[in-house]
Amino acid sequence: MTSPVLHDDVAIAAARLGHWPVRTPLLNSPALDALCGGRIWLKPENLQHTGSFKFRGAMNRLLAIPAEARGGGVVAYSSGNHAQGVARAARLLGMAATIVMPADAPKLKVERTRADGAEVVFYDRLTESRETIAASIAEARGALIVPPFADPLIIAGQGTAGLEAVADLAAMGETADLALVCCGGGGLAGGFAAGSQLPTVIVEPEGYDDVCRSLAAGHILPVENPGPTRCDALQTLRMAEITFATLRHHGATGVAVSEAEVARAVAFAVRELKLVVEPGGAVTLAALLAGRVDVAGRCVIATLSGGNIDAAVLLDCLREAGAL
């Protein structure tokens, strides 16, 4: 049986990470509170290094590698945010990084991954296995594979966002009733549930709601008939045993949001919050605005998990939401 990531694991990760991650703030919007009927505290990881929470897990994983074992570098596979997190962490630690990315990854994410010195190898997400490609590269180079979510150190690192959020809220004299967390493979969601120790609702885009369905069914179910989505960061086709075990252990449940609801959330973030949030990073906001979760009279922490959005996608969201 796979062991879940626990609160103590996240506390160890926080101590290891120290000053490396940005301690992102908690933000409150009276406009959002009024629309939702609750008190909402947003954790904007779009303000994290490389524009997403992924730096936390990547840096925690790389810091755990003994200095004498870092010579072979690392290999990762990602649609973009994990790619950037690994590339930045590797550069800061003086390590080589190779990232296997889908050919349709957002241009911005590819450019920024390369800007941190990583080599990018493309693949077709529907016909090729990124894991197989990464394993072949790692074997040839003597490198360590750094997966996007199927690793306890990655999950624990992501969970430091939850640890911070609860501590910062307590410093303001408040206690949250619930956490809403963006979810692709479940690394952030599982880590956040462990770190915050709050009842957690994960949010996915419709069509990629395998984690929601898996939690409801009690066993892992893959994505069925994957199609296009704006939420490129959340296009994981199957969750891992460790993320499933972690989310189940912490009692997480899930909801899904539509493409239109995501577009509205991206537009709301720009117009009302003055924040640029990518579609996959805005699914929690989409769930709140659409009333997918009853938060009336409750204090809620919600993640905004990333801000790496191509200009064309941002404009499409604004137009669809009637903000242009």
Residue 41: band (very low, low, confident or very high) from pLDDT cuts 50, 70, 90 = very high
What local confidence, expressed as pLDDT, does residue 60 receive?
98
Quick: pLDDT tens for 179-208: 999 999 999 999 999 999 999 999 999 999
Can you tell me whether residue 73 is helix, strand or coil?
coil
Residue-range domains of the chain with CATH: 7-52+152-320 (3.40.50.1100), 55-145 (3.40.50.1100)
Strands 253-257, 200-205: pairing kind: parallel
Which band of pLDDT confidence, cut at 50, 70 and 90, is reported for residue 106?
A: confident
% residues pLDDT > 90 (the chain)? 92
Residue 94 Rama label (left phi>0; alpha psi -120 to 50; beta): left
Task: List beta partners, residue 77.
Answer: 100
**Cα–Cα distance for residue pair 192/311, rounded to 1 Å:** 29
Q: Write out pLDDT tens, residues 57-100.
A: 999 999 999 999 999 999 999 878 999 999 999 999 999 999 99
Identity of residue 252 = A
**If you average pLDDT over residues 276-302, what whole number do you get?**
98
Q: Write out pLDDT tens, residues 162-180.
A: 999 999 999 999 999 999 9
Average pLDDT over residues 8-28: 98
pLDDT of amino acid 320: 96
Residue 13 CA: distances (Å) to CA of 57, 62, 200:
9, 11, 20
CA dist., res. 235 & res. 218, Å (int)? 21
Higher pLDDT residue, 106 or 265? Answer: 265
State the helix-helix crossing angle for 152-171 and 54-63, rounded to 10 degrees: 120
- What's residue 25's pLDDT? 98
Whether the predicted pLDDT of 108 surpasses 90 = no
pLDDT of residue 55 exceeding 90: yes
Predicted local distance difference test score (pLDDT) of residue 287 = 98
pLDDT at 299 over 90: yes
Tokens 């990655």 identify what position? 154
Q: Coil, strand, or helix at residue 117? A: coil
Mean pLDDT to the nearest integer, 99-103: 93
Q: How far is CA 198 from CA 165, 188, 243, in A?
A: 11, 14, 16
pLDDT classification of 147: cutoffs 50, 70, 90? very high
Please tell me the pTM assigned to this model: 0.95
Ramachandran assignment for 197, one of left (phi > 0), alpha (psi -120 to 50 degrees), beta (any other) = left
Angle at 84 (CA atoms; ends 81, 85), nearest 5 degrees = 85
For residue 249, with 0-12 CB atoms within 10 Å meaning exposed, 13-18 middle and 19 or more buried, which class applies?
Answer: middle
Per the structure block, which two tokens stand in for 158?
A: 């992501």
Closest CA to 185 of 223, 219, 218, 225: 223
Give me the mean pLDDT over the 212-237 stretch.
94
Both tokens of residue 1? 């049986």
pLDDT exceeds cutoff 90 at 264: yes
How far is the C-alpha of 181 from the C-alpha of 179, rounded, in Å? 6
Q: Residue 109 pLDDT > 90, yes or no?
A: no
Burial of 111 by CB count in 10 Å (0-12 exposed, 13-18 middle, 19+ buried)? exposed
Average pLDDT of the chain?
96
